[in-house]
Chains A and B, each alone.
Chain A
Amino acid sequence: MSEPANELGEPATLKVALRNVRKAFDDTTVLDGIDLDVAEGDVITLIGASGSGKSTLLRCVNLLEPIDDGEVYLDGADIAEPGLDPDPIRRKIGMVFQSFNLFPHMSIVDNVAIGPRKVLKTNKAEARTNARALLDRLGLSARADAYPDQLSGGQQQRVAIARSLAMNPEVMLLDEITSALDPELVGEVLDVVRGLKESGMTMLIATHEMAFAREISDRVCYLHQGRILEQAPPEELFGNPQRERTQAFLQRVLDAGRM
């Protein structure tokens, strides 16, 4: 295992740090010793084939999946410590899902307001006012009183991002957020992510959109069978991949016309 030199930093100086994170479902190893540093304001993308562990990695960071071994640090504190109450930690970490996961029985504005209302105990009127302001910023104010199934996929995903942002998260996890969208709707969602980067949001992004990964990332990680095989700034990883497997993966993506 001759890892290309990526010196690991001190967790206390980082926003998020993963150390030797392991996770298995029954007998299948999904994460096989993940080490990752994410500094404040970093945008890190995870690329790799389906089943390489990208989604599971994100779910482990906000503790939706308990890890089997290792540490997950947020601001230098191990949040994966057994016995810790995960709820207060999740508030600080926003997550957006591939299939949006909006609440179909609530209007758009309530989808966005429900987090602050229930978790931060903001009163209803104030939470809704804030939600409308947030929706306005994302160009969704006209749909605030509609229901999720009345919106296009792109609009729904933007609402899902707004729902996460309403909690004022310190880190955002984006799990293949454009994979369920029609091609012509991908752009509007990626625009929102670009805006987030500009505002300095720390983000971990799992994606199949290579062009986007190349454009937005500070660092790209190639995952293969639960390990980070290679990580580098995008121009290096895409322009001059060091590992054979990374080259093969990028070649396949290129052949499929996805880059």
Chain B
Amino acid sequence: MTTAPAPALTRRQAYDRARRRRAVIIATTSTVLVVATLVILIPLTPRWDRVRQSFFDGEVLRETFPGLLSAFWLDVQIFLWSTPLILVLSILVAVARGSRSPALFPIRAFAVIYTDVFRGVPVILTILLIGFGVPGLFESREWSNPLIWGTVALVLSYSAYVSEVFRAGIESVHESQRAGARSLGMTSHQTMTTVILPQATRRVVPPLMNSLVSLQKDVALVSLIGPVEVLRRAQIDTSLFANFTPYVGAAIIFLAVTIPCTRLADYLLARQRRRTGATAIA
């Protein structure tokens, strides 16, 4: 209104500011109350001292943490091997399921059976069955590495889920995009690789991130068939020290990795919502 350096607030602005301030005060007060209640009440439970000793022993944590951390490197390696394999396999399965050519019927049928079976069996069972079952097929010891078969089991299990994510992405690309590409004379294969898949992939990044966060945790299940990764290490340390603190240490390590990833996934999802909300192009 005026050219004064600090213009007075309008009545509406003053009201909004007061309301925002009140909201901040309420949020802060309630948070402090809840945290204080937990901090005061939990130690008042009758056996708190024992629990603290066996789960939150600083000494044990200091001694075992470096070992846990180096064992976690194996989890990271399994994860880094599985992820690209899962992405490739799941895209292949998703495309195979969407194919219409009659010549590809066996592949399509196989893809359907594959996703049904591996989505229907718990990951942990798949790891046990493949980890113990497949090495029995070979005579040489080289083929009985549980690391390999554990990774294979994870890849098979996760690709079944992730292929459904890709399939949803492919189906979300509007039919008019296909028409646009085909009208230029592109083959259906060219249409898929240059027009449909690039758009589908962009759209599925957020749900894909969620799957990968799950994978980061499920890598620990491979410990069931032998490899000494972080969970296995924690188990061993727990019996060595007769104390459960190493499990808490392992949990801290997992959280340090998964929380940033989850936040990133949420951020990507929110950004995509904003974008697709802003532009509505068929």
Q: Which residues of A come within 8 Å of B, CB atoms?
A: 59, 62, 64, 87-88, 90-91, 93-95, 97, 99-105, 114-115, 118-119, 148-149, 160, 163-164, 167
Count how many pairs of residues, one from A and one from B, have CB atoms less than 8 Å apart in the complex.
68
- Distance A59 CA – B176 CA, assembled complex (angstroms): 12
A-B contact pairs, 18 of them (CB 8 A): A59-B179, A64-B182, A64-B183, A88-B185, A90-B182, A103-B195, A104-B199, A104-B279, A105-B198, A114-B184, A115-B185, A115-B186, A118-B186, A119-B184, A119-B186, A149-B279, A167-B184, A167-B185
B176-210 near A? 1/0 per residue, CB < 8 Å:
11011111111100100011001100100000000
**Inside 8 A of B202's CB, which chain A residues have their CB?**
105
User: What residues of B have a CB within 8 angstroms of the CB of A167 in the complex?
Assistant: 184-185
Chain B hits for A114, CB < 8 A: 184, 194
- Cβ contact within 8 Å between B184 and A115: yes
Q: Find the B residue at minimum CB distance from A93.
A: B183
Is there an interface contact between B177 and A101, defined as CB atoms closer than 8 Å? yes
Tell whether, in the assembled complex, residue B176 and residue A97 are in contact, meaning their CB atoms are under 8 Å apart. Answer: yes
Asked if A94 and B183 make an inter-chain contact with CB atoms under 8 angstroms apart, the answer reads yes
Q: How far is the CA of A99 from the CA of B198 in the complex (A)?
A: 20
Interface residues of B, Cβ cutoff 8 Å to A: 176-177, 179-187, 190, 194-195, 198-199, 202, 279, 281-282
B176 touches A87 (CB 8 A): no
Chain A residues, CB < 8 A from B198: 105
Please state if B186 and A87 are interface contacts (CB–CB under 8 Å): yes
Q: In the bound complex, what is the Cα–Cα distance between A90 and B181 (angstroms)?
A: 10
Known interface pairs A87-B185, A97-B179; A118-B190 also in contact (CB < 8 Å)? yes
Q: What is the bound-complex CA distance between A115 and B186, given in angstroms?
A: 7
CB distance from B247 to the nearest CB of A (A): 45
Q: In the assembled complex, which residues on chain B have CB atoms less than 8 Å from the CB atom of A160? A: 180
With the chains together, A64 CA to B198 CA distance in Å?
A: 22
**B180-A102 in contact (CB<8A):** yes
Q: What residues of chain A lie closer than 8 Å to B183, measured between beta carbons? A: 62, 64, 90, 93-95, 97, 164
Residues of B within 8 A of A99 (CB): 176, 281-282
Nearest CB of B to A108, in Å = 14
Closest to A62 in B: B183
Choose among B177, B180, B187, B282 the residue that contacts A87 (Cβ–Cβ < 8 A).
B187
A103/B184 in contact, CB under 8 A: no
Residues of B contacting A164 in the complex (Cβ-Cβ under 8 angstroms): 183-184
